Amino acid sequence: MKRKFLLLLLSSLFLLSCNSDDGTNSNAVLVKRTEANGITFQYKYNGNKLSKIIVDDVEEVFTYSGDLIVNIKKYYTGTNLVISESQYTYDSNHKMIQEILLYYQDNLGSKMVYTHNVNGSVSFQTYDGSLTSQTNLTQSGFTYLNNEGNVSKVEIFNGANLYSTTEYVYDDKNGILKNVTGYDKLLSNFHGNKNNVISRRVYDGNNTLVNGFDNVFTYNSNDFPSSVITTTTGSTSPTIVNYFY
Given a cut of 70, whether residue 10 has pLDDT beyond it is no
What is the tens place of the pLDDT at every residue in 107-153? 999 999 999 999 999 999 999 999 999 999 999 999 998 888 888 99
Q: Per-residue pLDDT averaged across 40-45, rounded?
A: 97
- The pLDDT confidence band at residue 164, using thresholds 50, 70 and 90, is very high
Query: 209, 199, 202, 190: which is closest to 229 by C-alpha?
Result: 199
Stretch (H or E) spanning 119? none
- The pLDDT confidence band at residue 21, using thresholds 50, 70 and 90, is very low
Stretch (H or E) spanning 6? helix 2-15
Please give, one letter per residue, the 3-state secondary structure of 155-205.
Answer: EEEECCEEEEEEEEEECCCCCCECCCCCHHHCHHHCCCCCCCEEEEEEEEC
Given a cut of 70, whether residue 204 has pLDDT beyond it is yes
Lowest-pLDDT choice from 58-62, 101-105, 116-120, 206-210:
116-120
For all residues of the chain together, what is the average pLDDT? Answer: 89
Name the percent of the chain lying above pLDDT 90. 76
Which CATH number goes with the domain that contains 215? Answer: 2.40.128.720
Stretch (H or E) spanning 7? helix 2-15
Top mean pLDDT of 1-10, 65-74, 233-242 is at: 65-74
- Round to whole Å and give the CA distance between 7 and 39: 8
Please report the pLDDT score of residue 218 as a whole number.
98
Split into its structural domains, the chain has a count of 1
Q: Which domain holds residue 149?
A: 2-244
